[in-house]
Amino acid sequence: MAHLAPISINGNILDPAEPAVRAAGLVTSDAADSNYVLIQTKGAVTKDNKDELQNLEVGIKELVSDSTYLCRYEPSDLEPIRNLDFVKWANVYPTHFVVSSRLKPDRATVMSVLSTHPHNVDVIFHAEHKKDATTLIEQVARATHVNPSGLSGRKDKVRLVVQERYLEDVAKIDEVQSILEVRPHKLFNNVARNILMGRGNVANLNNIVIDGITFRGQDQIIAVADTGLDSTHPAFRGRILAKHALGRPGLTDDRDGHGTHACGSVLGNSTNANGVTIQGTAPEARLVIQSIGDAKGGLGGIPPHLDKLFGEAYTDGARVHNNSWGDITPGRPYEQEASEIDKFVYENPDMLICFAGGNDGVDDDGNGVTDLGQVGSEAAAKNSITVGASENFRPNLTRKYGRGYADPIRFDTMANNSDGMAAFSNRGPSKEGRIKPDIVAPGTGILSARSSQASEPDTGFFGVSDDPAWMYDAGTSMAAPLVSGCAAVVRQALIQNPPHGTAGGGEYSPSAALVKAVLINGAVELKGQYHPSEAGPSPNFDSGWGRLNLTESVSTAMALNAAGCHEGAPLQDAGFFDIHVPVTHVGATLKATLVWTDPPASRLQNDLDLSVDVGAQRRVGNTSSNRKNNVEQVVWANIPQGTARVRISARSLTKSPQGYAVAWKLS
């Protein structure tokens, strides 16, 4: 038998080659009792492989582990699958994988079948099952010994509190794919605008103007899900499109202040008492506010199904959605919340969703470098933009990071170097090994709108501002809204100048993948401020693909200065598309970025490759073959003169076809 790879699902590991696996009854002779099977193949499945499986009534649903696919299979005989040349192993989907490893009792209590310890869980159902929601809810209710009238759910998920002793009973329901713990959430608490425009630390406020067009987010709608909004603040006058009370019935005001500050960074536009203009990055966009703050000061308004959150804003016309909140525990893996984010973008490809990366950056080993691996949960999603925090430049603010960090971080001023990373900003990689954050923006000493209803005075990290209507704050919570505003401005530019081959005018709605590609391609590498550097060459796990530069991105969207972008027709298996870029001068650098919206799942489902060829020379995305990221980039300094062929190719597609977006610039 060919070598079998261990399978890891929901934190549970099973080695199909171990004799103990068969002895434990985890390998079955047939699939008479289940419609879901795991198939491990000798490599990535080809189109011919998929055709053979389809002829056997096998429907591939998800790549769940190395060369291992979760499939729907209604026949009972597994031998036709096991006899295929490219199949190494096939078995029903065992209940061993269903319950998250974090919900299983430790060894001291594993023999206790009477545990009444309650768990708040999401019961996730297999995709495309054939039962209605009512039937599934009744099955779950029977298994958990609760009244079905007290449960609410849908065909994809039910959320409930269940006693530990009943988890395995729920896992035996054939339609149940996963049982995952529900985690609590927390908030990730005009100089920044100029830094993001690539104009350094200058105090004067300028706009991006191209061919007489000023890019300030006109005609764009941005949704912000946060604690609420002080709708009386002059920064938002005349531009609040809709208000939704999700956490407190009928109330969208902001007693915390976090939401008002975030909205100000996205699209605020007003002056302070000294006549100084203070603006967000999209100061002419309109706002949809979703108040998710609850009466207890938490985030109880976040719906159990995130598509409700995003769908409500999408119906209002929002195509950029900001979220400055996340899991209370850093570094958790990609789970249901991340999958729901990816699914919404996959099904609504023109909705760009931004999430703050989190503020749990620590230096536990005391080596003067922020530790890696804190990005997780919602921020681990593939199809959104995860935002980290770089430093702002406000040298008058003297707050230091302090004794929680070792030198050189400890005595560093938090907002005095726009080329440095904020020490508190969560670093990647994600548990799945992906490059995170995607991009960074200033997140220290950010001056924005202050809610007049905030219960606490403005006496935070950076002291009191000159005007009580404005306040300083810090966090990836502040960086993410700046990026959301920039995304809206890039959308405006793309609609103004649609890429070749797309519908123009009001009919064209740029994909989230295209906006993300243009933003990442325009980003600049952080130089760092310490030795050794906390930033380093892009991409990296500190600053991702770099600090956003809106001027560069808008120029790319407008196809200026030897730059451009393309939103291609979806690729079939083994398909490719070429773009030819003339290289006319010596010493040029070509930068190209590929982004695609991947099907929802913790692993990369559809693998595209980016390569650049000039004559016999070649560069590939992310410097080597990449099987984890749905962002790839080539930066080729001193590229030879001639014609550069930028190729996007489909290496392996679990689900086909696959769309993509690419942006490039020759400088």
Distances (CA, A) of 1 to 4, 39, 89, 94, 206: 8, 15, 9, 21, 67
Quickly state the pLDDT bin for 143 (edges 50, 70, 90).
very high
- Report the pLDDT value the prediction gives residue 455, as an integer from 0 to 100: 66
Quickly state the pLDDT bin for 500 (edges 50, 70, 90).
confident
Query: For the residues 312-333, what does the mean pLDDT come to?
Result: 96
| Alpha carbons 415 and 398: distance in angstroms, whole number | 8
DSSP annotation of 378 reads G
| Alpha carbons 594 and 592: distance in angstroms, whole number | 7
Write down the number of H helices and E strands in the chain: 12, 32
Query: For the residues 83-103, what does the mean pLDDT come to?
Result: 94
- Token pair recorded at residue 87: 């199949």
- Report the pLDDT value the prediction gives residue 457, as an integer from 0 to 100: 55
The larger pLDDT score, comparing residue 531 to residue 384, is at 384
pTM: 0.93
Query: One-letter amino acid identity for 545?
Result: W
Q: Which tens digits make up the pLDDT trace of 573-604? A: 999 999 999 999 999 999 999 999 999 999 99
Residue 94, number of CB atoms within 10 A of its CB: 21
Q: Is the peptide bond preceding residue 437 cis, with omega within 30 degrees of 0?
A: yes
In 404-546, which residue ranges form alpha helices assigned H by DSSP?
A: 476-496, 512-522
**Concatenated DSSP letters for 455-474?**
SS-S-STT---SSTTEEEE-
Which is nearest to 218 in space by CA: 493, 517, 534? 493
Helices 476-496, 550-557: axis angle to 10 degrees equals 20
| Alpha carbons 287 and 238: distance in angstroms, whole number | 10
Quickly state the pLDDT bin for 488 (edges 50, 70, 90).
very high
The larger pLDDT score, comparing residue 21 to residue 571, is at 571
The rounded Cα 632 to chain-centroid distance in angstroms is 15
Asked whether the CA dihedral 302, 303, 309, 315 is positive or negative, the reply is: negative
Residues 109, 114, 119, 121: what is their CA dihedral angle, to the nearest 10 degrees?
Answer: 110
Query: For the residues 72-79, what does the mean pLDDT come to?
Result: 95
Query: For the residues 2-7, what does the mean pLDDT come to?
Result: 86
Residue 244, number of CB atoms within 10 A of its CB: 18
- Token pair recorded at residue 42: 């000798």
Complete domains list, the chain, with CATH:
7-97 (3.30.70), 101-181 (3.30.70), 205-522 (3.40.50.200), 562-666 (2.60.120.380)
| Alpha carbons 220 and 495: distance in angstroms, whole number | 10
- Report the pLDDT value the prediction gives residue 458, as an integer from 0 to 100: 53
8 Å CB contact between 336 and 196: no
8 Å CB contact between 289 and 245: no
- Report the pLDDT value the prediction gives residue 202, as an integer from 0 to 100: 43
Q: Which tens digits make up the pLDDT trace of 419-473? A: 889 989 999 999 999 999 999 999 988 889 999 988 665 555 676 777 888 888 8
- Report the pLDDT value the prediction gives residue 505, as an integer from 0 to 100: 53
- Report the pLDDT value the prediction gives residue 612, as an integer from 0 to 100: 96
Kindly report the average pLDDT of the chain as a whole number.
89
Q: Which residue has the tokens 């999209």?
A: 282
> For a pLDDT cut of 90, what percent of the chain falls above it?
69
Q: Which tens digits make up the pLDDT trace of 223-271? A: 999 999 999 999 999 999 999 999 999 999 999 999 999 999 999 998 8
Query: One-letter amino acid identity for 119?
Result: H
Query: One-letter amino acid identity for 176?
Result: V
Quickly state the pLDDT bin for 557 (edges 50, 70, 90).
very high
Quickly state the pLDDT bin for 204 (edges 50, 70, 90).
very low
- Report the pLDDT value the prediction gives residue 50, as an integer from 0 to 100: 95
8 Å CB contact between 441 and 192: yes
Distances (CA, A) of 446 to 137, 463, 582: 47, 12, 42
**Concatenated DSSP letters for 93-125?**
--GGGTB-GGGS--TTTTT-S----EEEEEEEE
Q: Which tens digits make up the pLDDT trace of 330-342? A: 999 999 999 999 9
Distances (CA, A) of 625 to 65, 259, 607, 608: 18, 41, 10, 10
Query: For the residues 354-377, what does the mean pLDDT come to?
Result: 91
- Token pair recorded at residue 497: 């100048």
The larger pLDDT score, comparing residue 295 to residue 274, is at 295
Beta bridge partners of 581: 644
- SS3 per-residue string spanning 232-301: CCHHHCCCEEEEEECCECCECCCCCCHHHHHHHHHHCEEECCCCCEEECCCCCCEEEEEECCCCCCCCCC
Among the residue ranges 138-147, 356-365, 446-455, the one predicted with the least confidence is 446-455
| Alpha carbons 93 and 34: distance in angstroms, whole number | 8
Confidence check: pLDDT of 497 > 70: yes
> For a pLDDT cut of 70, what percent of the chain falls above it?
91
8 Å CB contact between 23 and 56: no
8 Å CB contact between 663 and 593: yes
Q: Which tens digits make up the pLDDT trace of 26-55? A: 788 899 999 999 999 998 899 999 999 999
Helices 336-347, 306-315: axis angle to 10 degrees equals 30
Strand ranges (DSSP E) for 99-205?
A: 118-125, 157-163, 176-181, 185-187
Residue 178, number of CB atoms within 10 A of its CB: 21
- Report the pLDDT value the prediction gives residue 622, as an integer from 0 to 100: 79
Distances (CA, A) of 346 to 279, 340, 596, 658: 32, 10, 10, 10
Sequence-distant (6+) residues with CB within 8 A of 521 are 552, 553, 556, 565, 591, 592, 593, 633, 663, 664, 665
543 exposure class (CB count in 10 Å sphere: 0-12, 13-18, 19+): buried
